[in-house]
Amino acid sequence: MSLQEFLIWVLSGGGAGVVAFLLMEWIGNNTDLQSDLKRYLSLALAGVVAVGAYSAGVAMGYEPMPEDVRGWIEAVFAVIAVAVMSSQAVHGFTKLRVKRV
């Protein structure tokens, strides 16, 4: 997997949510945060990972640079939305699903 492929996965495949979920698992195991604080931190972390990956993709020329402020706002909103939704989906799938007997 190349850096470009990794960044594309993080941005468009929901990989930022997976990365944020894994980071939150590590943070949760190594800190004593209350569950509501962990939830807020996980949402913020997903957004930070997504925006970081998007910024890296633009800087490396893998993603086209938005033409104006509106383009930046729309692009950043899109990557954050996908990241937050995917992090919550991964959390739900791994932690909240009902085990069938």
pLDDT tens sequence for the chain (101 residues)? 899 988 888 887 678 888 888 888 888 778 888 877 888 888 899 899 999 999 999 999 999 999 999 999 999 999 999 888 888 888 778 877 766 66
> pTM for the full model?
0.81
Q: Which helix (DSSP H) or strand (DSSP E) does residue 1 occupy?
A: none
Q: Alpha carbon 77 to chain centroid distance?
A: 12
Q: How far is CA 21 from CA 60, 61, 77, 78, in A?
A: 25, 27, 19, 19
Phi, psi for 31 (deg, rounded to 5): -135, 170
pLDDT of amino acid 101: 63
